[in-house]
Structure 1
Amino acid sequence: MNEALGQWLLNRKLNIGYGLFSPPGLAFSGTPGQSVRDILREQALADAVAVHIAAQGEFASSLARVADVRARLAGQPALAWALQPKPRIAARAREAPGLLRQAGAVLPAFVGVFLWPLLLVILPLAAWLAWPTRHGTSAAILSILLFLVLVFAATALALVGSYIAFRRGEDADWISDAAPTLDQSKAMFARENAHGYAHNHMMSHTVRKPGMIRAVTLRLAFMVIAKLTALNPRPGFLGDIGTIHFARWITLPGTRDLIFFSNFGGSWESYLEDFITRAHAGLTGVWSNSIGFPRTRNLFQDGATDGERFKRFARQSMTYTPFWFSAYPTLTTSNIRTNALIRRGLHSETEVEAVEWLSLFGSSPRPAGKLDTPQIQSIVFGGLGFKPEGRLLTVRLGEDQAANRTWLRELMPDIAFNDGRYIKDDAVVTLALTPSGLSRLGLPDQALESFPVAFRLGMRGEGRAHILGDDPHASQWWWDAEPVEAALLVYGDDCSAVERQVSAIREALKACGSIVNQIDLTTVGEKLVDRKEPFGFVDGVSQPAIRGTYRGLRNADPIHLVEPGEILLGYPDNRGTIPPGPSMDARYDPTMMLPITSSDAGFTETIKSNPRSIGLNGSFLVIRQLEQDQKGFWDYCEKQAHAFAKFFPEPAICDAEFIAAKMIGRWTDGSSLVRNPYMSATKLKVLYGTSEGGATMREKARPADASATPVETGDRAAPPATRAPKPDNDFLFGTEDPQGLRCPYGAHVRRANPRDSLSPGSMEQVEINNRHRILRIGRGFAAEGDRQAGLMFMCLNADIERQFEFIQQTWMGSVKFHGLDKEADPIAVTGEAGRNGFTIPVRTGPVSLEPLPRFVTLRGGGYFFVPGRQLLRYLAHEALP
């Protein structure tokens, strides 16, 4: 009976397609390349492996857990088949295809499917025209060319005419608003979501619109869907929909009856909503050829986007199915794909793969943008301000790589990884390496060459002084003139904890190197308002928030949110791509300690020969020790306030802080000039409403000559006195202060992060701006002897040239920034460029301050790389090749 039924079905098999002689139709599988046998076997395997994992004890690594599972399966004959590698899946592009690639797939198919009958006309006539006995050679060639031009012109006219007729038909099509009858609905509801199945089944019957044009456009829609679906980087997905098990479009031979049936995960409502939101163009392209479908344009537009009308049409066209078969009724397509990954992941060969494989049980593989926090040094998650005491060490290593690696192995337990909120030690270490440091720890030269040029040249390398605005002949460089191999940041709960940690580092270094520079950092205040740099301004107010970190997940304003790849290597950046990072040949990592460069392969590739990623979870650290002339800065501001007070009317108070705030772009308490144009939020709260002897304190604070005719600086109304004095940062310069009347164009904070200033109101400009953000993690250092206090500027970024150097050169160092002329950043440029002065815009014209002296001097620094845990483990390994 089964054989007879099977033969009966085979005899009635329809070879559907979109060719001119095939019954129009299209078939789609959500689990391509997987047979029912494989799906059922892999489900049994996944169940068994889950039991093994639940029974496991502690292991030294995730890779050891995978090895234990393999050993257990080897002893189970019914599951030992899984230890044989599954055939490799053909590689697909990992990004959605662009318009050019889509056109390259569709247009040749269109010509081959629909225009080939032209050849039946062109070839015989061309042969006739070219017949040598009829014409001479030149005349024959000319005749053929003229004929081809006429044929193509006629074809173009025919296509244009057909399109015009088609569009008129679309505009005139009848639209059905019919709803299913109550009996129809009852019959379908009785069979949907039944028996606890993980998926449902639907069948729809519609009638194709009459006419030759609709016969062709139906085939055209099937062709476009087939070609574009084949380009999808995720096999088994129709657009973004991944819940379909099977789907079929079939036109019954000799009729205009169009049948659609599908097995899909979830409910019918969710299935239709997915199509309306994610794949409405394809659905419209096919069903718009049916009588009664919602109004469409150009075959693929509108239609299904009219959601409620479309669902009514779909439901009314449905007919219940008396019976349907599912070989795996409890599995969704997601289950099936996960089970396939479990089988492939049994052959994991690296720790990264093993971790991701274990995440398949009750979770899912880590998305490309999800931070692998245990592999990232804690400094990346913030400046570790909860460890208030700190010291910066620079280290010189010897040429004995074995001794250097021994030192690194001893240091590893003290290096802080993961979100710093979980740190329990009283002192922790951040390790950053120079190119020579990586080399002396055993990284091959071939790997070093893959690092960016700016990092390899260093902060004092060829051309860097010109880019950074530094003095290339600085005679008072405090740091040791010879290169170092590492920088260590030691942060602790108190000074004694830091000293103990430094002593341990010094003792361990005796066998391989020495501490060269040792700089105590100032104590970090508990609150942001207490964290002030030597000029007295709250520091660290404006920071990017990395998506996926605690701050990024909590309440960061979207204008400050950046993707992980802007700060960390190996993650998607703001453009959605993962930039190429440092890597090395597989032969230098025979024990497979490092991740492969294509870590998103999904267990589908043989990885032993793949290049290794050495930059993953790392970041580049810029350190600049900046001495600050506090007295010179405030003396200058006091002098300018006395000279120019008459230009700034009430309610502004033109004192030294006012001039300083105009140059910095914030008040000393961290409140912004954009939101507080006349005085700081703190001063506003103190002064307004408080009087002595009939005069307000604000009036007493005004300079004596401030009674001269004022020039407006902006809105005259004072902000409410109840505003809390706190730093603010969620504003846009271009939107709120497009003329620079509150925060001058040349102010330090406006240069460092212009936001939309260069194109007011443009969020696209904000996105461009965010490609240059840096994560600042600096701390101050105290005065010592004749050396003044200053800022140990430190920042993290994924691309030194695109981020730190771009900001320093194009925004801060440029004397033409934002239309200005002959003035650079008033404090951040340490060389001689831009010493001409500073411009404060007012409504009647600019106020130009006197030429600025140098307030900040560069005394030391360099470019370093903060490695992820895996690279540090590799470098600390006892036996590198």
Structure 2
Amino acid sequence: MDQRPVSEGGGTPNWHLSAPTNTKAQGLVVSGFANLPTGRALFLEFGWKGVKKKGGGAWVEALRKVAQVTDADGRDPRAVAMGFTWSGLQKMGLNANALASFDRPFKEGMFQEDRLRRLGDRRGEDWQGTVIPGGPKWSGNTPLDDAAVDDEARAFDDREEIREQRIKTPVTVHALVLLYCEHDEAAEAWCEEVSAALAPFEVTVSHHLPLDLRLDKQGIAREHFGFADGISQPIPFEEGTVVYKDGTEVPKDYWNGVPLGEILMGHMNGHNEIAQGPVVADGIGNTSGLPEHPKGVGFKDLGINGSYMVVRELKQDVYAFWQSMRAGAAYIRERDPEGSAHVTTTWLAERVVGRDTHGNLLCPLGGTIPVENNDFGFWDRDLHGHGCPLGSHVRRANPRDGLAPTPADKQTLLDAANNHRILRRGRKYGKTISVPPTPDDVDRGLLFICLNTDITRQFEFVQQTWILNPNFAFLYDETDPLIGPKGTMTIPENPLRRIIDVETFVQMAGGEYFFLPSMPALDYLGSL
């Protein structure tokens, strides 16, 4: 999970974007705004019917007068980020050809039935146990694309009974505004100011979450389960663009380096290709602030220095988590009274996560790798998972070189893993539970936010192929023990292994794919 700004192992300084890119990209790209502990997520709905032919972006300009979106050129006393769903851009009146130029996952939306299946949220007519009872509360409610409703647009003659159905949520989200400031009183007053500025334009806050990033007495940001957060982020690099604070260039980090195009459109990605983004025909609207597209004559680049923002509201059942860990530890001690004195509730919970509660990576023989050291591989340090279990959350989320079949394949597998990295920018929401946890009715969890330029290859791949893969790393019929469905988890330990039951601790309450525009693109959208 993921609160702090990027600061990687070995004391590596935070990375920045050099001019002029730092004034083009939103500040969320380079910072989690750790100096601003209080936040608000405002999910906006456009109240007008149909598509606006003119003035669909007027609300953007009104909002920016009271909540100016923050660029990436330095620290600000308060900060703002903003993204749009496909359905939101459509209602604002963005040209149909421009809408069609977005990547397919964004155009289909997170709630397209195949995507829901890949993400483990729904199968057929049924929501899975990793979704809140009754189904999610909000989404972009993206309409079905042509291939889903037009027989002539289909590649095959599908039978009527397997036609795709539109899956809708009670609340529709057209845009997301993230506010960051110093304390709750200021945040509440700011929210009221934003709501008042939007009201004349028929834009309302359909859902909101209070976001929190507060350090404990040890200076550690913790998510609701009690574990250190914001650990192990990718480090982007690009010659002349990604720099340290003193202006020196950030080199490619061997373990965690990713080309900037994995995070920002219009830059070289991990496949030595320019990360593609949307375009708009020159002259359709006020395109004067957008750069010419390098490969499209007559088109302006709407995507450059923007990104796709994946957002999922993940409700955490903290009491159930610790009860399950307590029951699992007791079960092991009862079955092996002589060889399991070290198996405590916390010991088991740390194996589920893969790190201790302070963020140090678990290693064999009881050792750890300090949280500040992120330069390591699993092959040499813990090949068989006797420290950090093979199926733990940490290892599934970023297997590094641990999936290599032979030593000769370590580099290949590390490079392959880094081609699926995502930049996390989420925060927890809801009141912190008591210690020890007791059942309550408080809604708490994580507003998961990540940035990537290829939703299919990055976020969806991680979720489907690593997090929810039942045969990950030679395991059988197991998924992520922290954020996956109810099942089992194997913990390798000499001489054999231990297997425990795990419940469902995290449930999706809403989600969608958003376009995080650059500052010039935001200007353009405001001119619609």
Instruction: Identify the TM-score tier after normalising by the shorter chain.
Output: 0.7 to 0.9
Q: Which residue of 2 aligns with 1:779?
A: 427
Match of 2:172 among 459, 483, 487: 483
SS in 1 for 2:361: coil
Q: Number of paired residues? A: 452
Counterpart-to-counterpart distance in 2, 1:779 and 1:528: 19
Match of 1:856 among 506, 513, 527: 506
Q: Which residue of 1 aligns with 2:185?
A: 496
8 Å contact 1:653–1:679 — kept in the other structure?
Answer: no
Counterpart-to-counterpart distance in 1, 2:287 and 2:512: 33
Distance 1:660 1:668, change over 3 A: same
Q: Which residue of 1 aligns with 2:343?
A: 654
Residue identity opposite 1:407 in structure 2: W
Query: Deviations along 1:48-88, whole A, 9 cap, x unmatched?
Result: xxxxxxxxxxxxxxxxxxxxxxxxxxxxxxxxxxxxxxxxx
Query: Deviations along 1:615-655, whole A, 9 cap, x unmatched?
Result: 11111111111111111111211222223247699998321
Counterpart-to-counterpart distance in 2, 1:462 and 1:641: 38
8 Å contact 2:287–2:524 — kept in the other structure?
Answer: no
The gaps in structure 1 that reach 5 residues or longer are 1-367, 600-606, 682-724
CA shift, 1:591, in A, is: 5.0
Match status 1:522 vs 2:212: yes
Counterpart-to-counterpart distance in 2, 1:656 and 1:752: 23
Match of 2:479 among 824, 847, 859: 824
Q: Return the structure number with greater strand share.
A: 2
Distance 1:569 1:458, change over 3 A: same
Distance 1:487 1:577, change over 3 A: same
CA shift, 1:510, in A, is: 0.9
Q: Which residue of 1 aligns with 2:294?
A: 598
SS in 2 for 1:663: helix
Alignment of 1:17-32 (within 5 A): none
Match status 1:373 vs 2:15: no
Higher RCO (C-alpha 8 Å, min separation 6): 2
Match of 1:628 among 303, 309, 316: 316
Counterpart-to-counterpart distance in 1, 2:22 and 2:84: 20
Q: Which residue of 1 aligns with 2:3?
A: none
CA shift, 1:411, in A, is: 2.3
Match status 1:406 vs 2:96: no
CA shift, 1:612, in A, is: 1.5
Percent identity at matched positions? 33
SS in 1 for 2:520: helix
Counterpart-to-counterpart distance in 2, 1:401 and 1:386: 41
Match of 1:809 among 464, 469, 484: 464
Q: Which residue of 2 aligns with 1:664?
A: 353
Which moved further from structure 2: 495-504 or 527-536?
A: 527-536
Q: Which residue of 1 aligns with 2:224?
A: 534
Counterpart-to-counterpart distance in 1, 2:337 and 2:522: 57
Alignment of 1:388-537 (within 5 A): 388-399=37-48, 400=52, 402-413=54-65, 414-419=67-72, 421-423=74-76, 425=77, 427-471=78-122, 472-473=126-127, 474-479=133-138, 481-512=170-201, 513-525=203-215, 529-537=219-227
Residue identity opposite 2:180 in structure 1: Y
Query: Deviations along 1:379-437, whole A, 9 cap, x unmatched?
Result: 010211111100111001134464542221122353343336431x3x32211100122
Which moved further from structure 2: 384-393 or 452-461?
A: 452-461
Counterpart-to-counterpart distance in 2, 1:403 and 1:526: 46
Distance 1:631 1:571, change over 3 A: same
Counterpart-to-counterpart distance in 2, 1:517 and 1:374: 30
Q: Return the structure number with greater helix share.
A: 1
Match of 2:518 among 849, 852, 868: 868
The gaps in structure 2 that reach 5 residues or longer are 1-16, 128-132, 139-168, 433-439
Alignment of 1:45-64 (within 5 A): none
Residue identity opposite 1:523 in structure 2: L
SS in 2 for 1:620: strand
Q: Which residue of 2 aligns with 1:756?
A: 401
Q: Which residue of 1 aligns with 2:454?
A: 799
Query: Deviations along 1:553-588, whole A, 9 cap, x unmatched?
Result: 569953111111001111011233213321132242
8 Å contact 1:415–1:431 — kept in the other structure?
Answer: no
Q: Which residue of 2 aligns with 1:586?
A: 282
CA shift, 1:371, in A, is: 7.1
Alignment of 1:85-234 (within 5 A): none
Match status 1:741 vs 2:386: yes
Residue identity opposite 2:356 in structure 1: W
Counterpart-to-counterpart distance in 2, 1:727 and 1:468: 31
CA shift, 1:766, in A, is: 1.1
8 Å contact 2:228–2:357 — kept in the other structure?
Answer: yes
Counterpart-to-counterpart distance in 1, 2:219 and 2:376: 19
Counterpart-to-counterpart distance in 2, 1:864 and 1:648: 52
Distance 1:534 1:560, change over 3 A: same
Aligned CA RMSD, in angstroms, stands at 2.9
8 Å contact 1:434–1:864 — kept in the other structure?
Answer: yes
Counterpart-to-counterpart distance in 2, 1:818 and 1:754: 9
If you compute each CA radius of gyration, which structure gives the higher value, 1 or 2? 1
Distance 1:564 1:394, change over 3 A: same
Residue identity opposite 1:633 in structure 2: F
CA shift, 1:509, in A, is: 1.2
Q: Which residue of 2 aligns with 1:23?
A: none
Residue identity opposite 1:639 in structure 2: A
8 Å contact 1:667–1:679 — kept in the other structure?
Answer: no
Q: Which residue of 1 aligns with 2:9?
A: none
Q: Which residue of 2 aligns with 1:558?
A: 254
CA shift, 1:825, in A, is: 0.5
CA shift, 1:503, in A, is: 1.6
Query: Deviations along 1:125-179, whole A, 9 cap, x unmatched?
Result: xxxxxxxxxxxxxxxxxxxxxxxxxxxxxxxxxxxxxxxxxxxxxxxxxxxxxxx
